[in-house]
Amino acid sequence: MNNLDEIKAKYGSETPFSVPENYFEQLGEQIMEKLPEKEVKQTPVITLWRRIKPIIYLAAMFAAAIWTINLYVGKNPIHTTSSATVVSGDQDAESVTLAMSADDYSLYEYLNEGKTN
């Protein structure tokens, strides 16, 4: 014989547990009675600023990113130098051109003319 058959022969095939009458019909009501009352939260008022704040922050982030990229690439540098030279009445264009073409070594020689060590 099988073990299951031996157990059925010894104890029978009856279920030892029983469900009270109307248990499942009343279960939901009993559980709901035991639960505490839930507080209803008021919905917060959403102002116009709270709605557009993420968009403004996003636009500021992109503006800063573009400014930073332009700064490092060099297309739009912060400090611009003007290549225009103003010529006064007593200077002529030739002397200005000569002065602008001088390099550092030439300026050093000019400054040290006549000085002896």
Question: Along the 117 residues of the chain, how does pLDDT read in single tens digits?
Answer: 588 888 888 888 777 788 888 888 889 899 988 988 888 888 889 999 999 999 999 999 999 999 998 888 875 445 555 555 554 555 566 666 666 777 777 777 777 776 765
Q: Which residue has the tokens 């611009």?
A: 80
CA distance 100 to 86: 12
Q: In this structure, are residues 100 and 85 in contact, taking their beta carbons and an 8 Å threshold?
A: yes
CA distance 84 to 96: 11
Nearest residue to 87 via CA among 95, 79, 75, 76: 95
Looking at this protein, which amino acid is placed at residue 2? N
Give 28-43 as a DSSP string. HHHHHHHSPPPPPPPP
Taking the model in full, what pTM does it have?
0.31
Question: For residue 105, what pLDDT is reported?
Answer: 78
Question: For residue 75, what pLDDT is reported?
Answer: 56
CA distance 12 to 6: 9
CA distance 92 to 107: 20
Q: Which residue has the tokens 């573009």?
A: 66
